[in-house]
Amino acid sequence: MSGYFNKTLWVLGAGQLGNMLQHAAYPLGVKVNPIDIDAAKPPVLDDNDVVTAEREEWPKTPVTDVLSSHNNFANQDFFATIADRYLQKSLLDKLGLATAPWQLVKSDDTEAKIFQNLGERVLLKRRKGGYDGRGQHWLTQAKNSTIPDDWHENAIAEQGIKFDEEVSLIGVRDQNGQCYFYPLTLNLHQNGILTASISPLDRLKPLQATAEAMLTKLMDAVEYVGVMAMECFHVNDELLINEIAPRVHNSGHWTQAGSNISQFESHVRCVTGLPMIQPSVRNTNFMINLIGTELDKDWLSVEGSELFWYQKSVREGRKVGHINFSKTGEKNIQIALEQIEPMLPSQYKETINWLKAELLSENKSA
């Protein structure tokens, strides 16, 4: 006997998401092996094993060849749809799920035609490979901006949405088709990259049922198993889907501190066929992403901070870790925010102010 559950979960990709899946699976007795797609020697899998991915797309390598040809690759066909924004948006349209108005940038499309179809502020997004705001280009009529070379056919154009705020829903679907949800998360993006999240928030409760119905429709349509994230724009009491991630998601990292079953554990349970139950959520939770910042041991001295450091080399704009807080009471939230603020680079001032404005009544605008 190995002491482990009788199947190994292989993760295509060895970044932080794979590591956090492994971390969450340890107490369940599930062995998780995240695999670097560029590793020289591909792994040998058992028929009984299961494969998942921490990224939407991957190049052909000896490792990805072996993993992607395994019979138990959860949701494998769905990855190709999501990895191409054109196919992803087409699927949302087909299912009647509200999304930002959009079109493919066709070979003969001009800027004028796109402005005519979508309005004077349009965001071009590369069909493939973009993340953290990369692979995007604003077309603004007033600035006479132009479509970059080689973006025709390789990008979609989306109407620039003047949203009130951005929210996301983390959903889970088990192998019996039962769906489970975490409460909606409020997200702050700065320069296209997620910097902070909060969940739950009372004022988002009225949107919960609508959001769950939208994501259920999508997960059921593709018979999804595991965790899926739905990023939305909140505009005038409506939700427009921005994009879908077929995996654990940065806006669900708070569940590590705020739920008895984190999004990582939910995903492991579902894809390996272990029993799944409704996760319960405690306290008010918030997460601060560490972006391009050096590791600082002082973060550990902040009351209630839960650090996840990804052990990657630090580069500007790169997500290198996050800190979760699970708190009750405004006073405790305020103390934590005031302690952490001077330990973060100056650009976090805006992030902390946003957290204060959302979480502390005296900072709330009327």
Question: Binding site: which residues?
Answer: 85, 125, 130-136, 158-161, 166, 189, 242-243
Q: Looking at 34-42, 72-80, 146-154, 156-164, which segment touches ligand ADP (CB under 6 A)?
A: 156-164
For the beta sheet containing 121-126, the strands, ordered from the edge strand earlier in sequence to the opposite edge, are: 102-104, 155-159, 121-126, 136-140
User: Scanning residues 230 to 289, which ones bind ligand ADP (CB under 6 A)?
Assistant: 231, 242-243
Among residues 197, 191, 189, 192, which one has the least CA distance to residue 170?
197
The tokens for 210 are 């609508």
CB of 159 to ligand ADP, least distance (A): 6
Nearer to Mg ion, 231 or 358 (CB): 231
Q: How far apart are CA 358 and CA 362, in angstroms?
A: 10
Q: Are 263 and 285 in contact (CB under 8 A)?
A: no
Q: Figure out which of the listed residues 158, 174, 306, 358 binds ligand ADP, where binding follows CB under 6 A.
A: 158
β-pairing verdict for 8-12 and 31-35:
parallel
From the number of C-beta atoms within 10 Å of its C-beta (0-12, 13-18, 19+), residue 334 rates as: middle
DSSP characters over 161-195: P--SEEEEEEEEE-TTS-EEEPPPEEEEEETTEEE
Q: Please give the backbone phi and psi of residue 51, each rounded to the nearest 5 degrees, phi first.
A: -120, 140
Q: Does 132 bind ligand ADP (CB under 6 A)?
A: yes
Q: Are 350 and 291 in contact (CB under 8 A)?
A: no
Nearer to ligand ADP, 125 or 327 (CB): 125
Binding residues for ATP, as ranges, are 85, 125, 130-136, 158-161, 166, 189, 242-243
List the x/- string, 214-243, binding to Mg ion by CB under 5 A. Answer: -----------------x------------
Q: Looking at 11-19, 122-130, 214-222, 324-332, which segment touches ligand ADP (CB under 6 A)?
A: 122-130
Q: Does 130 bind ligand ADP (CB under 6 A)?
A: yes
Q: Does 101 bind ligand ADP (CB under 6 A)?
A: no
Q: Looking at 130-138, 251-259, 303-311, 352-360, which segment touches ligand ADP (CB under 6 A)?
A: 130-138
Q: Does 84 bind ligand ADP (CB under 6 A)?
A: no
Among residues 155, 150, 133, which one has the least CA distance to residue 84?
155
List the x/- string, 148-177, binding to Mg ion by CB under 5 A. Answer: ------------------------------
Q: Does 192 bind ligand ADP (CB under 6 A)?
A: yes
State the residue for tokens 């990657």: 312
Q: Does 87 bind ligand ADP (CB under 6 A)?
A: no
Q: Does 4 bind ligand ADP (CB under 6 A)?
A: no
Among residues 287, 324, 332, which one has the least CA distance to residue 306?
324
Among residues 24, 80, 101, 64, which one has the least CA distance to residue 264?
24
Q: Are 231 and 184 in contact (CB under 8 A)?
A: no
How many residues bind to ligand ADP according to rule CB under 6 A? 17
Binding site for Mg ion (CB under 5 A): 231
Binding site for ligand ADP (CB under 6 A): 100, 123, 125, 130-133, 158-161, 166, 189, 192, 231, 242-243
